[in-house]
Amino acid sequence: MSDISRPIAPKSPEVRTAGDGTFTDDYAWMKNKHSEDTKTFVAAENAYCQHVMKPLESTRRELFDELRSRIQETDMSVPVRSHGYWYFSRTQEGQQYAIQCRIPVTDEDDWDVPVIDENDEPGSLSGEEIVFDGNAEAKGHDFFRIGGMSMSADGRWLLYGIDTTGDERYDLHVRDLHSGHDLPETIPQVSAGGIITPDGSWVFYATVDDAWRPDAVWRHRVGTPSTADVRVWHEDDERFWVGVGLSFDERHVVIGTSSKTTSEVLLLPVQTPEGDFVPFIPRREGIEYDVGFSCFEGAGDEGPDIPIAVVCHNVSNPNFQINIIDMRSHGAPYALDEGTCIAEGSRFGCERGGEFRDQPLDSPDRNPENPRILQGARGLNIESLDIHEHFITLGYRANGLAHLAVITKRQAIQDYLAKIPWNFKEILPEPDGRSHKASTDGSDSPENPDKALFSIGTAGNPSYEAPRLRYSFTSFTNPAELHELDPNEGTDRLLKKARVLGDFQSDDYAECQVWVQARDGARVPVSLLWKKGLVPALDAFGHQGMTEEVLTDIEASPRWNFTETRPANDAPEVAGQGLPAASPMFITGYGAYEISSDPSFSVSRLSLLDRGVLYALPHVRGGGEMGRAWYEQGRRLNKKHTFEDFIDATAALQRAGFADPARTVANGGSAGGLLMGAIANMAPQLYAGIEADVPFVDALTSILDPSLPLTVTEWDEWGDPLHDDKVYHYMESYSPYENVLSVAERQRRFGTVHFPQIFITTSMNDTRVLYVEPLKWAARLSEAEVGAKVCAKIEVEAGHGGTTGRYKQWEELCLEVAWCLSLMGCAPKISM
């Protein structure tokens, strides 16, 4: 390939005005997706990216072969029982998509998982049916994604949605599994999800408005044209998104409508599908809730069942509480805070924490009304209570991690009737398949947690009658496991552990969590992962698992002097600390929407670790790791805490001698892409490179435009700059596109002209972060006065999640990893 120059976009100034603020946008013309100028620039960007990445092709192939060699390509999931069938999915070597299969239940009383050979051809087992073959359905499409499936109770009627462009708009179809053919009607361009009623007669689905906001629910009679469908609900408030589903007991069609801070649930009995939806609890501004239904069998005064509603809400507790309502007393609507409280979260540090608002958010919570296992928990957030016929599970967050507890149904009913805290036992599995249920004396309470870093949660429990609980478990070093626990018998069985082929051994890798003291004094947890023997400084550090080790002295971090002549593997001297040489580091983060970045295993990550790369994950504010207060401290007018936490964590790891700044590469996507853009402007001297995936880098322009997807509902997350000048100027001060520094400005501010190399990925059909944001950012970074080295890879047929098909996704992932390794000196150098 001949040399291709970095494309330089033409400028066409356009002034953006809002309140008392103005901004001249030289590249606003790129928002015209169908203009020839935009198409030409996109093509030039892709050609340049392909040229830049050419030296990495051999590395990419090497990484792809590594990844593929570690994955069991012909595999299957553990069958899940629902109604009269066991459902499972198969993958086959060489096939891009999964194949959904099922076999009939032969004994109603037999809940043991059927033994199925993963190497069998799909459909070859006696009684096995292929429900949906993604490979056959995807033929002829460059992009293919399923937008949910819903099955009638008798297993005959399948509702499914497909998206073939990436814009997250799905065409719904109803398939008769007896004949294998779709019915003639198609419901086009609807939101993800939708359900078919248990009798297979009706479909309920959501549609979108001009801003692509799911705003309405419709009813469709199966076997009739979609033009005859009836709108049954409309949400007028533009902050709210609407979705529709089926209650766990399959007795109600459920509409959920919610903003970022307020929610409401409406119900319709499935026996009266043409009736009206009724609010379970009328909405109240600033209050979120969800509801499920069950019963306490034989718990009434003279033996009848007690029908109950399980309500998870934050009316009086920002970190949520769970109430059980005895539904014998009256019908809907019910009231928030009605019923018996089973568990409630911590109020420490929360905006609505009352007398606890100004106390540290990680203060130990001691509430005598709570179950014993919650006593002393820090950052306690209550997430779920799932009730089955034989057991009940409690999901919660404490000490920065997800937790899962269980109680037998019999014990729960006794505690409920006695009006005492429920005697839950925490599930604490060990990687070899054994489990340990915490004692009720508090010795294994969150105040004295196991040091392991892990993620745990319920998984594959669709049947109320199931006698055993399924849960999943994983960590940074342990591949995902699926367990089956019998709470009544106390037995725990490992159903499946994800296989990593080759010579992988979990014990070859180490993980730990340290704390970084941020510039405002907050303690930020940072997870670290590395291969033993390849990151000497961390081997010498001597800590594994959760620690109380705090890295401080952020302000003393040196301003590293990046130069083109410095070898990539020439680590800076860590003066006076006596530590081994620092290592290359891949550091990633998110920090938005109260989403927690929990420990998880990744096969592809092994290719970084096996080359001596330190993997770091700062759990920055804006996420939900430490509860609602952690989220509140990283949103709206506190958003800069997210960026500062990430920067301070990076600097602390470099200052400690763990990471080499000249080989530090950062990565984040979507809202994490905003984080990447911000750190590039705020601390360019700390990073050799930054990969920004579908980055939200022109945040202010987007949030000012109510006609765009997401904008109005996003005001609860970021603030409303259109009607509040204070929010406008705050966002103006950090929005990456508007704060790119010139070479001269970097020299004055940081004492160096260094700017990290930037690799951008985006998709033209992305409806969450429009392609125009990263495209304009790339153009601005390429200006001579900025002097940044940047390239962008733009998918023409894809959406927010990138391309589809597992092999295509692996290829794209391996290119991204190759780019990161190149900047770390672990792969051929590229020139931009």
pLDDT in tens, 440-451: 444 444 344 447
Spatial contact of 300 and 270, defined as CB atoms under 8 Å apart = no
Retrieve residue 264's tokens: 């409401």
Per-residue pLDDT at 580: 67
- Which residue spans of the chain are classified as CATH 2.130.10.120? 140-279
From 660, 663, 687, 662, select the one nearest 676 (Cα to Cα): 687
Residue-wise pLDDT for 249-282, tens only, equals 999 999 999 999 999 999 999 999 999 999 999 9
Which of the following is catalytic: 346, 766, 782, 822?
766
CA distances from 183 to 139, 187, 219 (A): 20, 11, 17
Report d(CA 476, CA 553) in Å as an integer: 28
Mean pLDDT across 287-305: 94
pLDDT greater than 70 at residue 402: yes
Q: What is the mean pLDDT of residues 383-406?
A: 97
Distance CA 593, CA 199 (A): 37
Active-site residue flag, 670: yes
Which CATH code for domain 42-69+504-698+735-823? 3.40.50.1820
In the block, tokens 């799911």 appear at 214
> Taking 50 as the threshold, does the pLDDT of residue 699 lie above it?
yes
Per residue in 543-562, pLDDT tens?
Answer: 999 999 999 755 544 444 44
Phi-psi region of 94 (alpha: psi -120 to 50; beta: other; left: phi over 0): left
Residue 433 has pLDDT above 70, yes or no: no
- Token pair, residue 471, equals 């849960």
Q: Please give the pLDDT value at position 452.
A: 82
Distance (Å, rounded) from C-alpha 35 to C-alpha 14?
A: 17
> Tokens for 588?
């990633």
> For 764, what's the count of Cα atoms within 13 Å in the CB-facing half-sphere?
18
Question: At 712, is the secondary structure helix, strand, or coil?
Answer: helix
Closest to 619 (Cα-Cα) out of 675, 678, 683, 682: 675
pLDDT exceeds 60 at position 512: yes
Question: For residue range 217-250, what is the model confidence (pLDDT) as tens digits?
Answer: 999 999 999 999 999 999 999 999 999 999 999 9
Please report, rounded to a whole number, the percentage of residues in the chain having pLDDT higher than 90: 89
The pLDDT score that the predictor gives to residue 332 is: 84
pLDDT tens, residue by residue, 626-665:
999 999 999 999 999 999 999 999 999 999 999 999 999 9
Angle ∠(314,675,568) on CA atoms, nearest 5: 145
Q: Is the pLDDT of residue 439 over 50?
A: no
Q: Which CATH architecture has domain 140-279?
A: 7 Propeller (2.130)
Catalytic-labelled residue, pool 252, 313, 754, 800? 800
Q: Which of 89, 472, 596, 670 is catalytic?
A: 670
Q: Where are the alpha helices (DSSP H) in 31-182?
A: 36-53, 57-70, 134-138
Look at residue 749 and tell me whether its pLDDT is greater than 80: yes
**pLDDT of 438:** 45
Residues of the chain with CATH 3.40.50.1820: 42-69+504-698+735-823
User: What predicted TM-score, i.e. pTM, was given to this entire model?
Assistant: 0.95
Confidence (pLDDT) at 776: 98
pLDDT single digits (tens) 67-92: 999 999 999 999 999 999 999 999 99
pLDDT in tens, 751-778: 999 999 999 999 999 999 999 999 999 9
H/E element, 644:
helix 640-655
Mean confidence (pLDDT) of the chain = 93
Q: State yes or no: is 51 an active-site residue.
A: no
- Give percent of the chain above pLDDT 70: 94
369-373, 448-452, 709-713: which range is least confident on average? Answer: 448-452
Query: Is the distance from CB of 694 to CB of 733 less than 8 angstroms?
Result: no
pLDDT digits (tens, 9 = 90+) for 126-147: 999 999 999 999 999 999 999 9
User: What residues pair up with 161 in beta bridges, in sequence order?
Assistant: 172
The DSSP H or E segment spanning 715 is helix 711-718
Question: What confidence score (pLDDT) does residue 418 get?
Answer: 97
Is the Cβ–Cβ distance between 409 and 389 less than 8 Å? Answer: yes
Q: Can 229 be counted among the known catalytic residues?
A: no
Give the rounded distance of the alpha carbon of 218 from its chain centre. Answer: 28
